[in-house]
Amino acid sequence: MILKELGLVLRRPKFKTSEDEISRIIIALMQTAEIVNVASKLKVVEDDPKDNMVIETAYDGNADIIVTGDSHLLALRDFKGIKIITVEQMLACLGEKRLKNAPKKENKS
């Protein structure tokens, strides 16, 4: 369900994503994502009930983070220990981690 919703969202004009790009993204996610059987029925996002499926999937899949651009989800900031962050925040976290793990340059004096 989430991949189907992602396909619909990526078709919005503001994303300027071609059908080929959408297909490649969906295929890549299908090959790498963990499929979660969702059992929970949560009512967390009242303004956009379709967003609840993201929360339910993350919750049932024991996710640590939801990365999204959705304003309703971002307004929550956190759900039962699951951080809800923007793509920019995630990229910043990955950049910090990369810097921490990068080999130190030797001082050549």
Name the residue ranges covered by the structural domains of the chain.
Answer: 1-33, 40-96
Dump pLDDT digits (tens) for 26-67.
Answer: 999 999 999 899 999 999 999 999 999 999 999 999 999 999
d(CA 75, CA 71): 6
How far is the C-alpha of 41 from the C-alpha of 52, rounded, in Å? 8
> Is the model's pLDDT at 108 over the cut of 60?
no
* Six-digit token string for 50: 């379709």
Full-model pTM? 0.77
Q: Does residue 73 carry a pLDDT above 60?
A: yes
64's CB contacts (< 8 A; 6+ apart) are 82, 83
Q: How high is the pLDDT of residue 29?
A: 92
Cα gap 60→38, rounded to integer Å = 6
In tens, the pLDDT along 86-101 reads 999 999 988 877 767 7
Is the pLDDT reported for residue 107 higher than 70? no
Q: What local confidence, expressed as pLDDT, does residue 79 receive?
A: 97
Closest CA to 88 of 65, 67, 73, 66: 67
